[in-house]
Structure 1
Amino acid sequence: MRLVLFDCDGTLVDSGALIVAAAQDAFAEFGQPAPDEPTLRAAIGLSVAQCLEFWRPDLPVADQAAIGRAFGRHYWKHRTAGIHAEPLFPGILALLDRLAAQPDTLLGIVTGNSRRGLDAILAHHELAERFVTLQTACRHPSKPHPAMVLEALAETGARAEDTVVIGDTSYDVLMARAAGTLPVGVAWGNHPAERLVEAGAAHVVHAATDLHPILGLA
């Protein structure tokens, strides 16, 4: 049995604009300058606490925590208003449909998003039934810690050597390697291809169709 684990934000869906807007509003609420957009995007994939540490390591921990809570409020404000769309990246739906039709393949998600946020994304795109394991930052240490992947292995009974982790950041690649799984980077997300290679990705792809041969799809 093969297990294919996907990151969500930046891999399945293009949620960068929503996350950036929420972060900018959170910093503004506290009268703090927000980092520039490339810096904000570079932390996507980490849990909120680690994002704040990455974005503004100069701030006291208590201030980081307060801005992190504000980020959550603004995230849901923007999401509810529907101002920033979170479309699936090109070719992702067809890829998931083909993988879900494979009798020897299980699908899962390992994401720095909250379970509430992940559930909303899956419901919006009507994807939930395709995944048998959902691992989020609510229950685990932040990436690149391998806990999310290890729990997905435990839940499904899959072996690490039969598991592929697909993500758009170096955090995904490092997490996959730490868990003993195959790390595959996608270059359409938040980290450039060269950073994925430096982190140790076994493959880096530039389109969803490039994943087909890696995953054994003719």
Structure 2
Amino acid sequence: MTAPLRLIIFDVDGTLVDSQGDIVASMHHAFDEFGVPVPERAAIIGIIGLSLPVAMARLAPELDSAAHDALVDGYKRSYLSLRAKAGAAQSSPLFPGTRDMLEALSARDDLLLGVATGKSRRGLDKLLEGHGLQTMFVTQQVADFHPSKPHPAMIHAALAEAGVDAGDAVMIGDTTYDMDMARAAGIGTIGVEWGYHPAADLRADHLLSDWTDLPARLSAIWEKAQ
């Protein structure tokens, strides 16, 4: 019996790349520019993965939507500037072992790779270009076209675009937003321990401390589903 085609969906920030330095710096710039108190670092780290309008509303609930829009604009300008100065690969470096892992998985005939991220289309394009990963992912779901995580719309769109059933897909991420999104869509979950939310909070089906453990975790998920 031929094995089904399966889809692995990755979060980006905190899972594939470490972008927290520029994210925190850009939040500081945006709040300083608007003249309101800058949130604590822990609060900023806690919203990574959400779409920017939702993130700003959580960080500054006392402000109105126009102020949130201004904060989003300030953040984007700062982030673009920082990335332009350093380059995407240096601004958001891949976590150790990530490239080898992606190349190994993409070489398999039974797997498809995708991403579901709170980044914009432009932001994801620049990141993938900077790392030379433009052709790695068959489905790329971004914040421009979907409700913010943990709404399952990104997962539903990824499954439809890849032509894969929910039982043959898994989400890999570092935040509770990733895991809740995946559960809402009815797919398996793998949490990474090096990301921005405490691993104990993820309630993932499996946890990874290193990419080398991923093949075994994938096998465990899909063997259980059979």
TM-score by length of 1: 0.95
| Contact map agreement 1:168 1:187 (CA 8 A) in 2 | yes
Whichever residue aligns with residue 56 of structure 1, its letter is A
Whether 2:14 is the aligned partner of 1:18: answer no
Structure 2 contact 82–91 (Cα < 8 Å) conserved: no
Aligned to 2:208: 205
Query: What is the Cα-based RMSD across aligned positions, in Å?
Result: 1.3
CA distance in 1, matches of 2:213, 2:63: 42
Alignment-derived partner of residue 162 in structure 1: 168
**Aligned-partner residue type, residue 34 of structure 2:** F
Once the two structures are superposed, what CA deviation does each residue of 1:129-161 show, in whole Å capped at 9, x if it has no partner? 111000000110000000001001111110000
1:178 aligns with 2:184: yes
Aligned to 2:63: 59
Tell whether 2:34 aligns with 1:30: yes
Does the CA contact (< 8 Å) of 1:2 and 1:163 recur in 2? yes
Match of 2:150 among 144, 161, 164: 144
SS in structure 1 at match of 2:164: coil
Measure how far apart 1:38 and its partner are. Answer: 1.1
Offset, 1:16: 0.6
Residue deviations 1:25-58 (CA, integer Å, cap 9, x gap):
0000011111111110100000000110111112
Partner SS for 1:128 = coil
Which amino acid in the other structure matches residue 70 of structure 2?
A: A
Q: Structure 2: give runs of 5+ residues left out of the alignment.
A: 221-226
**2:104 — aligned with what?**
98
Deviations 1:145-202 (A, max 9, x none): 00001001111110000001000100000000000100111111110111112xxx11
TM-score by length of 2: 0.92
Q: Which residue of 2 aligns with 1:45?
A: 49
Query: Please, which runs of 5 or more residues in structure 1 have no aligned partner?
Result: none
List structure 1 segments (4+ residues) > 4 angstroms apart after TM superposition: none
Aligned length: 214
**Partner letter of residue 37 of structure 1?**
R
Identity of aligned residues (%): 48
